[in-house]
Amino acid sequence: MSETIGFIGLGRLGLPVATNLLQAGYSLAVYNRTASKAEPLIAQGARLAARPADAVAAGGVVATLVWDDEALESVVMSEGFLENLGQGGIHISMSTVSPETSRKLASIHAARGSTLVEAPIFGRPEAAEERKLLIPLAGPKDAKDRVRPILAAMGGEGLYDFGEEAGAATLVKLVGNFLIVSAGHSLGEALTIAEKNGVDPVAVADMLTQTLFNAPIYQSYGKRIAQKQAPFGQSKIPMKDVGLLAEAARRAEAPSRISGFLHELLRSEAE
Amino acid sequence: MSETIGFIGLGRLGLPVATNLLQAGYSLAVYNRTASKAEPLIAQGARLAARPADAVAAGGVVATLVWDDEALESVVMSEGFLENLGQGGIHISMSTVSPETSRKLASIHAARGSTLVEAPIFGRPEAAEERKLLIPLAGPKDAKDRVRPILAAMGGEGLYDFGEEAGAATLVKLVGNFLIVSAGHSLGEALTIAEKNGVDPVAVADMLTQTLFNAPIYQSYGKRIAQKQAPFGQSKIPMKDVGLLAEAARRAEAPSRISGFLHELLRSEAE
């Protein structure tokens, strides 16, 4: 495992994921727009890259975990990135972006002889620390086979294969996040209605999340809501991701009534 | 257990629940607007009442499981019903109605010396047959204590106490049904979006309902949707119950954005 992996994007999720890789014995070359965030990794032996292209080795593997479509495109199109990755190189794309952007970047890679593997992450930073991430996968078979042990080392407890087509795993991520946001906001509204009607919301959450809704998502958001926290805090991720899903629905001429409404609701609450 | 229980309302859920009572050794006096639906119970020894009041014994216990607020009120206000139940009698109200109606009927009972216990049922007819019903409870303590063994005999696997105030258990039922409908419709939309984007909806449902959403509700609706069935078939229950919740929210000046939207969506789909 002396292979050096490039890792770009050391946010709240990227940092624990990269840390897992280091601890599993991989060498890392890391890049982050705010370089100071790389310090804990440098202290553990990672090499700091001055620009994205410097985290990339010829024919090697580079993972990106950045905020949005624009940030991802700017990394891939940055000077030297595709050139350095070159023939046989693999880009593990772990950000939550639109399927369209992902398909476009997969084509750009393919034209250069490198491969994009979609591997967006389900899991909060704590789940990364506990190595309990869920990762839907899409991309050419050989590339997926090569990156599976790397994804497992990142903390991917469950890897779910959605075939070879770019866009598929990205869409699964959007679908999952939409369901999470719908569940969290519906639960929040439900418990508020209970409370305003004089019914103890903690008792309601306890009953429902031990029975009909005994899934991790409901249990963790039930606890947050019962403690008077907003289900998703101040995070802008729900608005961004539900917006991406609603857009993917419209492009495919699929119904987007609930996702479209939820996106509008989140936008109005953010104002 | 030779006590005779009155049972009014032998619909898809009422019939298996009443059957459970008979099989547990209780004697039954049953009433249903369409009397022929009582036949399987009569064959097992239940007595057919000609009108609701004839299913009620002085100081006894009568359960009602009818379609809506109007049907419930018409039973309670029917000739002889309250008179026959009399002092010390208990009305177990198991229908899904508005908290307001339930509170009103609880007052009417209290003025006559009888007691209303709210015990609305979570569970499809199959769950009744398997004696796996979940029942939130509300009402005066002594009355709840008296009916608990009866509810267990009906198939109530889990009884959840929400205090003495009428309206509380009814609201919990509405909140639960809203969350079920929100989950089912969000999942339906999500899987349709996946399919229209070329991603196998069965694979998506499998991944999500084994991990983040590994709760009975998602698993059963995931299966239905993957088999191209609408999550709730042609049932009018979702529209009715989400409407009741949205109304309860508005009366309590609680937010009803998602529930209100969902109610409008269900209305528009029913047209």
Q: Give the nearest partner residue to B190 out of A160, A179, A265, using CB atoms.
A: A179
B220 Cβ under 8 Å from any chain A Cβ: no
pLDDT of B2 over the 80 cut: no
Lowest mean pLDDT among A96-100, A221-225, B15-19: A221-225
Residue A234: what pLDDT? 84
The total number of structural domains in chain A stands at 2
> Of the candidates A140, A165, A190, which is a domain's last residue?
A165
Residues B178 and B94 placed together within one structural domain of the fold = no
Strand partners, B62: B6, B91
What the block records as the tokens of B120 is: 């609305």
User: Do the beta carbons of residue B165 and residue B139 sit within 8 Å?
Assistant: no
* Residue A115 confidence (pLDDT): 98
Domain boundary among A147, A165, A183: A165
CA-atom Rg of chain B in angstroms: 20
Assess whether B155 and B193 both reside in one domain: no
Q: What CATH number should be reported for the domain holding residue B154?
A: 3.40.50.720
Nearest beta carbon to residue B252 from set A176, A193, A265? A193
In A, which residues are within 8 Å of B253 by CB distance?
Answer: 196
CA distance B200 to chain A (A): 8
Whether residue A204 and residue B172 make contact (CB cut-off 8 A), yes or no, is yes
For residues B133 and B251, state if they share a domain.
Answer: no
How many CB atoms are closer than 10 A to CB A141? 10
Question: Once rounded to an integer, what is the mean pLDDT over residues B52-70?
Answer: 97
The encoded tokens of residue B29 equal: 């006096």
Q: What is the mean pLDDT of residues A77-93?
A: 97
Q: Is the Cβ pair A265, B258 closer than 8 Å? A: yes
* DSSP label of B141: H
Nearest C-alpha in B relative to A182:
B186
List the catalytic residues of A. Answer: 173
Confidence label for A228 from pLDDT (cuts 50, 70 and 90): confident
B63 and B151 in a single domain? The answer is: yes
Is the minimum CB–CB distance between A217 and chain B shorter than 8 Å? yes
- Between chain A and chain B, the number of residue pairs with CB atoms below 8 A apart is 194
- Contact of B185 with chain A, judged by CB distance below 8 Å, is answered with yes
Is A129 in the same domain as A39? yes
pLDDT per residue over A102-153, tens digit each? 999 999 999 999 999 999 999 999 999 999 999 999 999 999 999 999 999 9
A130 and A209 assigned to the same domain: no
Q: Is B64 left (phi over 0), alpha (psi -120 to 50) or beta?
A: beta
Do B102 and B213 share a domain, yes or no?
A: no
pLDDT(B39) > 70:
yes
Q: Which residue of A has its CA nearest to B206?
A: A160
Question: Please, which pLDDT band fits residue A225 given cuts at 50, 70 and 90?
Answer: confident
Same domain assignment for residues A188 and A222 = yes
Q: Which residue has the higher pLDDT, B2 or B196?
A: B196
User: Domain limits at A242?
Assistant: 171-270
Burial call B238-270: b when 16+ CB within 10 Å, e when fewer: bbbbbbbbbbbbeebebbbbbbbbbbbbbeeee
The answer on pLDDT for B206 being more than 80 is yes
Tokens 């905020």: give the residue. Answer: A67
What is the pLDDT at residue B233? 83
The answer on B217 and B118 residing in a single domain is no
Question: A231 to chain B: which residues are within 8 Å by CB?
Answer: none
Closest by Cβ to B215, choosing from A136, A192, A218 = A218
The 10 Å Cβ neighbour count of residue A90 is 25
Q: What HEC string does A78-118 produce?
A: CCCHHHHHCCCCEEEECCCCCHHHHHHHHHHHHHHCCEEEE
Q: Which of B142, B164, B186 is the last residue of a domain?
A: B164
A154 and A41 share one domain:
yes
Nearest to B244 by CA among B173, B148, B156: B173
> Looking at the structure, do residues B260 and B155 belong to the same domain, yes or no?
no
Q: What is the reported pLDDT for B164?
A: 98
* Packed helices B216-226 and B201-210: angle between N→C axes, nearest 10 degrees: 170
- Mean pLDDT over residues A83-92, rounded? 97
Q: B251: nearest CA in chain A?
A: A197
CB contact under 8 Å between B197 and A254, yes or no, is yes
Quick check: B1 pLDDT over 60?
no
Percent of chain B with pLDDT over 90: 91
Lowest-confidence pick of A182-196, B40-54, B178-192, B223-237: B223-237
pLDDT by residue (tens digit) across A38-83?
999 999 999 999 999 999 999 999 999 999 999 999 999 999 999 9
pLDDT for the residue B90: 98
Phi, psi angles (nearest 5°) of residue B22: -60, -45
Asked if the Cβ–Cβ distance from A261 to B261 is below 8 Å, we say yes
| B-contacting residues in A 88-107 (Cβ below 8 Å) | 99
A153 and A211 fall within a common domain: no
| B183, A186 Cβ separation under 8 angstroms | yes
The pLDDT of residue B50 is above 70 = yes
* Residues of B involved in catalysis: 173
Partner residue opposite A189 with nearest CB, options B160, B185, B259: B259
Rounded to whole angstroms, the Cα distance separating A210 from B217 reads: 12
HSE-up of residue A157 (Cα within 13 Å, Cβ side): 13
Spatial separation of the C-alpha atoms in residues A261 and A44, rounded to whole Å = 46
Mean pLDDT for chain A?
Answer: 96
Query: Average pLDDT, stretch A24-47?
Result: 97
Please give the sequence-ordered ranges of beta strands (E in DSSP) within chain A, or none if there are none.
4-8, 27-31, 47-48, 61-64, 90-93, 115-118, 133-137, 156-161
Determine contact: A57 vs chain B, CB below 8 A: no
Predicted pLDDT at A271: 79
Handedness of CA B119, B123, B126, B129 (dihedral sign): negative
Report which of A127, A54, A122 is spatially closest to residue A85, judged by C-alpha positions. Answer: A54
Q: What does the pLDDT read at residue B106?
A: 98
Closest CA to A231 of B217, B263, B258: B258
- CATH number for position A194: 1.10.1040.10
